[in-house]
């Protein structure tokens, strides 16, 4: 019967903890702006996940008696023109931004990886046709393309995710294709061909894993872009419809009429959008420096 050395297990567990803590301290010292971005993203994620516990008010409940109530007292960030708690709507709006941002980024990356991998690995007429389609899609800015898609599909959570995901595909496909073009000529790919491995298996097993580093960097950057575009679509009335709270819609409802009489209705949603996008960009830059050896020279 095997004897468990509890002292050794505790020593290994302590070493793992020290290793994680050391990695965190190194990241904070080497990339302080990236650490700030990571903290902002962590706050954003925690707000979205624990919105029920953070806010004491229902974001949908209206109360005419507290219409346009200034910040303070029970309503920390004030109330809007319908008497809804602004803090509650910002907290629950984080869920919409998280769902749209993560959903659109994941969908765009999955489709882009599939297209870029096949285009770069197999080449030929398929690569030619795909790249011309990518050129057409990239001829329009991200926001304009998302506006066209959202107007065609209609306002809903699913349609907003699709409308933002499709314009993200060309950037992902381009980067994956460029990495695939260099990887398919590497010796390990030639060795896999020499032992009779199929082209599809080589692409999935050997080439795809080596494209993940630039994909992680791109996905982090596109998350912030997706959140910003969702806010822009909601501001224009093409995003997630009422009664779901959305930061962009909160700005749209208040910017023109209440910016002078109740500026908190504009300031707080704007700060939320800016902080999240700023945090994702800072964290994405740090991840790029970590994963790209050329940035560490």
Read off the pLDDT of residues 202-236 as tens digits, 9 standing for 90 and up. Answer: 888 888 888 887 888 888 888 888 988 988 888 88
Residue 111, pLDDT > 90, answer: yes
Residue ranges of the domains in the chain? 37-296
Q: Could you tell me the pTM of the whole model?
A: 0.82
Q: Are 146 and 164 in contact (CB under 8 A)?
A: yes
Tell me, what's the pLDDT at 74? 83
Q: Domain 37-296's class?
A: mainly alpha
**Mean per-residue pLDDT of the chain:** 83
Residue 42, pLDDT > 80, answer: yes
Residue 184 sits at the vertex; the CA angle it makes with 126 and 215, to the nearest 5 degrees, is 85
Residue 183 sits at the vertex; the CA angle it makes with 211 and 106, to the nearest 5 degrees, is 20
Q: What number is the average pLDDT over the span 4-26? A: 56
Q: Are 91 and 54 in contact (CB under 8 A)?
A: yes
Q: Are 83 and 67 in contact (CB under 8 A)?
A: yes
- Asked if the peptide bond before residue 108 counts as cis, ω within 30 degrees of 0, the response is no
For residue 177, the Cα-to-chain-centroid distance in whole angstroms is 22
Greatest mean pLDDT range, 49-53, 153-157, 252-256: 49-53
Distance CA 165, CA 145 (A): 10
Distance CA 24, CA 85 (A): 37
Assign 3-state DSSP to the chain and report helix, strand, coil percentages, each to 5: 75, 0, 20
Among candidate residues 27, 17, 4, 7, the one with its CA nearest the CA of residue 285: 27
Distance CA 168, CA 114 (A): 13
Residues 64-87, buried b or exposed e (16+ Cβ, 10 A)? eebebbeeeeebebbbbbebbbbb
Name the pLDDT band for 110 (thresholds 50, 70, 90): very high
Tell me, what's the pLDDT at 162? 92
Residues contacting 109, CB < 8 A, separation 6+: 168, 172, 215, 218, 219, 222
Burial of 283 (C-beta count, 10 Å sphere; 0-12/13-18/19+)? buried
Q: What number is the average pLDDT over the span 251-277? A: 85
Lowest mean pLDDT among 33-42, 219-228, 237-246, 279-288: 237-246
């Amino acid at each position: 019967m095997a004897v468990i050395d509890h002292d050794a297990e505790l020593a290994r567990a302590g070493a793992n903890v020290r290793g994680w803590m050391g990695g965190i301290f190194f990241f904070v010292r080497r990339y302080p702006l990236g650490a700030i971005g990571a903290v902002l993203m962590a706050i954003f994620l925690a707000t979205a996940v624990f919105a029920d516990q953070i806010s004491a008010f229902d974001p949908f409940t209206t109360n005419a008696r507290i219409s346009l109530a200034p910040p303070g007292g029970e309503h920390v960030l004030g109330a809007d023109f319908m008497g809804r708690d602004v803090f509650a709507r910002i907290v629950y709006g984080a869920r919409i931004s998280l769902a749209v941002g993560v959903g659109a980024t994941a969908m765009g990356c999955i489709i882009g990886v599939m297209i870029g991998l096949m285009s770069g690995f197999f080449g030929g007429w398929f690569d030619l046709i795909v790249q011309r389609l990518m050129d057409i899609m990239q001829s329009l800015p991200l926001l304009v393309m998302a506006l066209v898609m959202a107007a065609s599909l209609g306002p809903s959570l699913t349609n907003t995710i699709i409308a933002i995901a499709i314009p993200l595909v060309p950037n992902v496909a381009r980067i994956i294709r460029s990495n695939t073009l260099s990887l398919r000529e590497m010796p390990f790919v030639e060795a896999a061909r020499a032992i009779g491995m199929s082209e599809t298996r080589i692409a999935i097993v050997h080439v795809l894993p080596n494209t993940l580093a630039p994909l992680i960097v791109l996905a982090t950057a596109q998350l912030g872009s997706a959140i910003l575009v969702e806010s822009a679509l909601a501001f224009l009335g093409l995003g997630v419809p009422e009664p779901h709270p959305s930061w962009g819609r909160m700005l749209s409802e208040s910017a023109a009429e209440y910016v002078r009489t109740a500026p908190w209705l504009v300031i707080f949603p704007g700060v939320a959008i800016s902080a999240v996008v700023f945090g994702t960009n800072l964290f994405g830059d740090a991840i790029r420096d970590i994963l790209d050896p050329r940035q560490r020279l």
